[in-house]
Amino acid sequence: MSTLSWFWSRALLMNRSFLWLLFTVNALGTIYGYIWYGDQLIETYEHNPAWQLIFVPDSPTASLFFTLALLYLLFPPKRALTGPAKFLRSAIEALGVVTSIKYGIWAVAMIIAGAMKGSPMVWENYMLIASHLAMAIEALLFTRFFAYGVAAAFGAACWLFLNDMIDYSYYIYPWLPQVLDDILPDVRNFTVGLTLFSFLLTVLAIRLAQRSRSLN
């Protein structure tokens, strides 16, 4: 094994100490994300129906699902799950992967697009770029260790399409750099297209994981 490939090897990714580290970092990032969305959540609560609140914090909810998915690796079931328990695991893992890929890429794209149109880059922007890129990368790396399939990934994509529709119909999408307000239709189209791309990329990752398992 080369030194580089060790960074995405089973020996590292499934090491219990590394999983706990990843769980802790994601859990803390999730908490920070909900705090970051605090003002928008308050504004939405004050001016919109309460049911829309669940559609406001996109990235931290993605991180929450991925954090929960890690628990299945830290505490693997002693017997094969069936029925509702199996459905719940598949839903959590699929949502954790598909949404993390989408919002990991989306946040980076919005920050860069804002900078290209003149929005100032501050330290927080670079921190958000690094953390959101990590979201997308870790989701792809861990797909091979999860138990969900294409059907669950499709369900997660349907949730994202619904979220896109609610976000841009009721204007509760994540607050953007002000310089992007005049290209909101382009942002919306990119966002919807990214949902489809994230689903297809997830399906590709599932197929590659299945092929790898069949060869071993």
Provide the number of structural domains found in the chain. Answer: 1
Alpha-helical runs (H) found in the chain: 10-13, 16-36, 38-47, 58-74, 83-116, 123-142, 150-169, 184-215
Q: pLDDT tens-digit profile of 152-187?
A: 999 999 999 999 999 999 999 999 999 999 999 999
58 vs 13, 70, 100, 161, CA distance in Å?
25, 19, 9, 12
Residue 2 has pLDDT above 70, yes or no: no
Residue 11 has pLDDT above 90, yes or no: no
Confidence (pLDDT) at 113: 96
- Average pLDDT score, the chain: 93
Residue 25 has pLDDT above 60, yes or no: yes
> Residue 80: how many CA atoms within 13 Å on its side-chain side?
1
CA angle 140, 65, 24 (to 5 degrees): 85
- Kindly state the DSSP code that residue 37 receives in the 8-state scheme: T
Question: Binning pLDDT at 50, 70 and 90, where does residue 7 land?
Answer: low
Confidence (pLDDT) at 1: 52
Q: Report the 10 Å Cβ neighbour count for 212.
A: 10
Q: Which helix (H) or strand (E) holds 119?
A: none
Q: Is the pTM of this model over 0.75?
A: yes
Q: Which residue segment(s) compose the domain that 191 sits in?
A: 5-215
CA angle 127, 133, 135 (to 5 degrees): 105
- Note whether 65 and 96 are within 8 A (CB): yes
Q: Report the 10 Å Cβ neighbour count for 153.
A: 25
Residue 8 has pLDDT above 80, yes or no: no
- Note whether 190 and 105 are within 8 A (CB): no
C-alpha 190/C-alpha 178 separation (Å) is 17
Copy the structure tokens of residue 47.
């001016």
Q: Which amino acid is at 84?
A: P
Q: pLDDT tens-digit profile of 51-82?
A: 999 999 999 999 999 999 999 999 998 888 88
Confidence (pLDDT) at 84: 93
Question: Binning pLDDT at 50, 70 and 90, where does residue 6 land?
Answer: low
Residue whose C-alpha is closest to residue 128's, from 200, 13, 32: 32
Confidence (pLDDT) at 3: 63
